A and B are shown apart, each in its own frame.
Chain A
Amino acid sequence: MLAARTILDQGITVEGINFFTGFCVEGHTHAIRRRGGSSRPAPRNNALWVADKLGIKLHLVEVVEEYKSVVLNPRHGYGRNLNPCLDCKGFMVRKAHEWMLENDFDFIITGEVVGQRPMSQRRDTMPVIAEESGAGDRLLRPLSAQGLPETFPERAGWVDRSRLHGFHGRTRKPQMALAAELGLDEYAQPAGGCCFLTDQRYSVKLQDLWRSRGRRDYELDDIMLLKVGRHLRPKPHFKLIIGREDGENRFLRGYRHLYPWLRTVSHPGPITLFDGPVLEPVDLELAARITARFSQGRSDRAVALEVGRPGEEPSTLSVAPLSPGEVQPEWYL
């Protein structure tokens, strides 16, 4: 937002690009959970909100398939979890550069600040992004430009370098001061956290997915489902995704055409998706008892459930809920 505003204030036309990888932690992922009875307003897409505030166009670009190579084979490796930050930044700047050429724009700006992030925003890695993306010196970082080599837009006189900034380091205080100076009293979260791949629990679930399928790959539905519900693997060959409240149950219901599912009918409770090759009777009973454990009938002797398979009529069964001690901690992903 600050980088865009800095360039807009020099009378230059700016349009935004926002890439959707499938791993984005946008408010809408949380909207799945918030909808059921929450008094909080529906969350917003921050990029759209910023564009709206700045009065600029924003182009939303889906890169789910192309992005797989970044996640599965990052040339520069992962961060603390499965976050391939340097490869990711290079990928996005490359895509922005392609968009720039296709749409007759002249250069790219980002909100990067030298030293702000441990992997992708270091003084030694920022030139790597410029080089590997193909953007070269058409990539301008307005917030740190005064501490970086001159770029083409500055040399060409399109941008006044003296009106750019020299921010560096992890502190956000200079950015906050600039925001106040520009009258921007509301802004999106200042400190990262925009990608599920930086999340330890999410990374564990993604690695479990790869391990259970015997290959490192994913589809969009896979990585969306990793964001929702309790994930339990009671047996090596199947996993359960159990809704935690109404919003998640509503979301998971949308996957009944893809996965075998169970839901409690005698008591309020969750819907559970069964992720495994075949729903064998013994597995079905365990899945049903676990589902019953998370229902309001957990203390009763029996809970009735409906069980469905894609393309088939649902059937019903009744089981005794597992006791708390029978739900093994190591099942939780």
Chain B
Amino acid sequence: MNSEVLDARRLLCPMPVIRTQQMVARMEPGDELTVRCTDPGVLHDIPAWCRVHGHHYLGAIEADDEIVVRITVGG
């Protein structure tokens, strides 16, 4: 299993989701992706994107101006 970190800070949705989509396309099932964001829209959009594409949303942590989202790539 590989882990990757995506810096999507300062991007407004849907760009963090688009960048997540592009990164996940290069990853393997079971890999874990951490996305660093500043747009609170990701709290809705990344879970929704994971659901429709069969990936696993592991949760988000909010600290200061940053939101860190973790997902596992689905099969």
Contacts and interface: CB of A to CB of B under 8 A. Distances in A.
Interface of A: 18, 20, 24, 26-29, 31-32, 35, 41-45, 48-49, 51-52, 55-62, 224, 250, 254
A27 B13 CA distance: 9
Given A28-B12, A43-B41, A48-B49, 5 more contacts: A28-B41, A48-B48, A52-B52, A60-B17, A254-B9
Contact of A26 (B13, B49, B65): B13
Contact of A55 (B14, B17, B44, B52): B52
B70 to A, nearest CB: 18
A221 to B, nearest CB: 9
Contact of B53 (A26, A29, A44, A57): A57
A43 B45 CA distance: 9
A233 to B, nearest CB: 24
B12 A224 contact: yes
A41 B52 CA distance: 21
B74 to A, nearest CB: 12
A95 B45 CA distance: 23
A45 B44 contact: yes
**Most-contacted residue by chain A among B9, B18, B52 (CB, 10 A):** B52
A15 to B, nearest CB: 9
A213 B62 CA distance: 39
Q: Is the interface of A mostly helix, strand, loop or mixed?
A: mixed
B13 A45 contact: yes
Contacts of B52: 48, 51-52, 55-58
B40 interface: yes
Contacts of A35: 40
Contacts of A52: 48, 51-52
B12 A29 contact: yes
Nearest to B40: A42
A45 B15 contact: no
A58 B49 contact: yes
B53 A18 contact: no
19 contacts: A18-B14, A20-B15, A28-B41, A28-B45, A31-B39, A31-B40, A42-B40, A43-B41, A44-B45, A45-B13, A45-B17, A45-B48, A48-B52, A49-B44, A49-B48, A51-B48, A52-B51, A60-B17, A62-B18
Contacts of B41: 26-28, 31, 42-45
A32 B12 contact: yes
Contacts of A42: 40-41, 43-44
Contact of A48 (B15, B17, B65): B17
Contacts of A48: 14, 17, 44-45, 48-49, 52
Contacts of A51: 48, 52
A44 to B, nearest CB: 4
Contacts of A56: 52
B48 A28 contact: no
A35 B41 CA distance: 10
A21 to B, nearest CB: 11
Nearest to A253: B65
Nearest to A18: B14
A250 B44 CA distance: 20
Interface string B9-45: 1101111011001000000000000000011110111
A42 B12 CA distance: 13
